[in-house]
Amino acid sequence: MKIGDVARITGLSVKSIRYYHDINLVSAKRGENGYRVYDKATLESLRFVQQCREMGFSIEECRNLLTLQQNPTRAAGEVKALAELHLNTLTDKIRRMQALQQQLAELVSQCQGGEQSDCPILASLSTDSHPV
Domain spanning 1-74: CATH 1.10.1660.10: yes
Phi, psi of 117 (to 5 degrees): -90, -20
Q: Where are the domains of the chain?
A: 1-74, 76-132
Q: How many residues does the chain have?
A: 132
**E strands, the chain, in order:** 29-30, 36-37
Q: What does the radius of gyration of the chain's CA atoms come to, in whole angstroms?
A: 23
Pairing mode of beta strands 36-37, 29-30? antiparallel
Mean pLDDT for 74-89 is: 97
Give the pLDDT band (50/70/90) at residue 116.
confident
Global pTM value: 0.78
Say what percent of the chain tops pLDDT 70. Answer: 97
Cβ atoms 81, 71 nearer than 8 A: no
Phi, psi of 80 (to 5 degrees): -60, -40
Enumerate residues 6+ apart whose C-beta is below 8 A from 66. 25, 45, 48, 49, 52
- pLDDT, one tens digit per residue, over 17-50 is 999 999 999 998 888 888 888 999 999 999 999 9
